[in-house]
Amino acid sequence: MNKSQLITVLAKTEDLTIRSAEDIVNTFFKEVEKSLLNDDRVEIRGLGSFKIKQYDGYDGRNPKTGKKIKVKSKKLPFFKVGKELKERVDKL
């Protein structure tokens, strides 16, 4: 499922116009993004939580050429699945 399908389903189930369903879906992901850009945690019961992890830089190698390279430190969001969703996905 992609974002536009998500919007369509939400519009149908909640009897909203596509336009306002789109605004709501965008608001949702924008809020999560804003929070992550501030290095803040996001915690959504039933779905899961996001937090920013800091990865240190290290000396690496290009596996193809064997050349040494410096890998810079970076930040990446990390998603931990919530209990409810974890169990639902794993059910056959």
Partner 1 sequence: MALTKEKIIDSVYNQAGLSKNQSRRVVESLLETMKKSLSKGESLLISGFGKFIVKDKAARKGRNPQTRKDLNLRARRVIVFRTSGVLRRKINHKD
Q: Which of 64, 67, 70, 91 binds partner 1 (CB under 8 A)?
A: 91
In the complex, least distance from residue 38 CB atom to partner 1, rounded to whole angstroms:
9
Q: Which of 18, 40, 58, 60 binds partner 1 (CB under 8 A)?
A: 40
Q: CA-CA distances (angstroms) from residue 50 to 29, 31, 46, 54, 71? A: 12, 12, 13, 13, 24
Show contacts with partner 1 in window 57-86 (CB under 8 A). Answer: 74-79, 81, 84-86
> Exposure pattern of 15-44 as b/e (b: 16+ CB <10 Å)?
eeeeeebbeebeeeeeeeeebbeeeeebee
Contacting positions for partner 1 (CB under 8 A)? 1-3, 6, 9-10, 13-14, 16, 20, 23-25, 27-29, 31-37, 40-50, 52, 74-79, 81, 84-86, 88-91
